[in-house]
Amino acid sequence: MFFKKEVTEIGTPKLIGRVRNFYPRLSVAAIKLSGVLSVGDKIRIEGGNANFSQTVESMELNKEKINQGNTHDLIGLEVENVVREGYKIFLLEE
């Protein structure tokens, strides 16, 4: 049996990165980017039992706050739920 993937009213999701590590005490995910991500962007995180959306409030690169992460950067991103290595990060484009 086939199921239709949930369609968001925000726009078409674009794979922007993957979770490399998760730090539960800080609720921060280390994410390897495969594209450009900026503060204020809306993202969707999918993998395992996780399937949630959130807005990027802040990012860090080498323990310094940044407004934009570029392709191949390994950034720190505070997340609202528990994530695991390999979870996919999608940019929700408008």
2 inside domain = no
CATH of residue 76's domain is 2.40.30.10
Which residues lie closer than 8 Å to 37 by C-beta, 6 or more apart? 16, 17, 43, 56, 59, 68, 69, 75, 89, 91
1 inside domain = no
6 inside domain = no
User: Is the whole model's pTM more than 0.85, yes or no?
Assistant: no
Residue-wise pLDDT tens for the chain (94 aa)?
444 444 445 567 899 999 999 999 999 999 999 999 999 999 999 999 889 999 999 999 999 999 999 999 999 999 999 999 999 999 997 6
Q: How many domains does the chain have?
A: 1
Give strand pairing partners of 17.
33, 89
54 inside domain = yes
60 inside domain = yes
Residue span of the structural domain in which 73 resides: 13-92
